[in-house]
Amino acid sequence: MLLENLALFLRIVRHGSMAAAGREMGLSPATVSERLAALEAQYGTRLLTRTTRSLSLTEEGRALAEGAPNLLAEAEALQSRLRDGVTHVAGPIHVSAPSDLGRNRIARLLDRFMALHPGVSIDLHLSDGYIDLAAQGIDLAIRYGALADSSLIVRPLAPSARIVCAAPAYLERHAPPEHPEDLHRHNCMMMRFRGEVDRAWPFIIDGKPRTLLLSGNRIANDGALVREWCIEGHGIARKAEWDIVEDISAGRLIPLLRGFEVAPLRLQALYPKGRAQITRIRLLLEFLVAEFAGQAP
């Protein structure tokens, strides 16, 4: 009965109306009131503030509204396992990833995961900018670098150096830089993050960190496009190692100035609290951890 009452509570929240939720579930107004009262008694607190004209969530009600979907999803998965006698993983997973890494690596890994679990569906959001995971309904995000939102849980996947690189065609026309200062004489293609152009490239020079402000004639907020420009020989780029490891192996890109690199960034999985308790999301997370561990550049 608790799960049924939770489902009713979520319908009330979604509709903003006890009567509408009751009609959807085929329950009388009296029954809806009784079940809501039973749920509040179960948790020992008021969940909704009710007036003749409106409903509003209490703080406790808001917390339950955020956590109840996970409880119901887990209960459904458990019921399926008990009913079918097998581990059955199904349902949607909303994933976010950087554009270049998402297209060239994450998408392939998701294909393999879905082949293992045909009942899973994937909604992949590609973006190199900041997104609000909760507002966008994202279950799992793959990101480089420091964590901005302290409410998210972090699972490290792998280190990833940022590599200065260029195509052989570009280096045939321009002498390769031997020192970071030489980049001032080159066309350096930039990424734009959150409206800011990434002109400041960090290096370790003479054992000390130093940042150079560079320039070029191509800027984009899409890492995949910057990589394409680089492969086409339009200039020099600074790309995450995971984005270009295959291009380097195939000779499409040449790494430069590796002796001056700063410490690698961390590639990591981020997810809202409670998401990893959902079986399909936990299995995807473990799958990604294992895959990146076995594919270190």
**Of 65, 84, 103, which one is at a domain's C-terminal end?**
84
Better-scored residue on pLDDT, 151 or 166: 166
Same domain, 151 and 168: no
Same domain, 166 and 259: yes
Same domain, 136 and 275: yes
> Which pLDDT score is estimated for 85?
40
Same domain, 197 and 258: yes
For 191-221, the pLDDT digits (tens) are 987 778 989 999 999 999 999 999 999 999 8
> Sign (positive/negative) of CA torsion 45, 51, 55, 59?
negative
**What's the domain range around 103?**
90-158+266-293
Same domain, 140 and 276: yes
> Which pLDDT score is estimated for 83?
52
Q: Are 201 and 256 in contact (CB under 8 A)?
A: no
236 pLDDT higher than 90: yes
CATH number for the domain including 62? 1.10.10.10
> Which pLDDT score is estimated for 153?
87
Same domain, 270 and 259: no
Which residue type does 98 have? P
3-state class (DSSP) for residue 257: coil
Same domain, 69 and 28: yes
Residues 290 and 277: their CA atoms lie apart, in Å, by 18
What is the pLDDT confidence band of residue 74, given thresholds at 50, 70 and 90?
confident
> Which pLDDT score is estimated for 277?
80
pTM: 0.64
What is the tally of structural domains in the chain?
3
Same domain, 194 and 130: no
For 173-194, the pLDDT digits (tens) are 999 999 999 999 999 999 987 7
**Of 63, 84, 105, which one is at a domain's C-terminal end?**
84
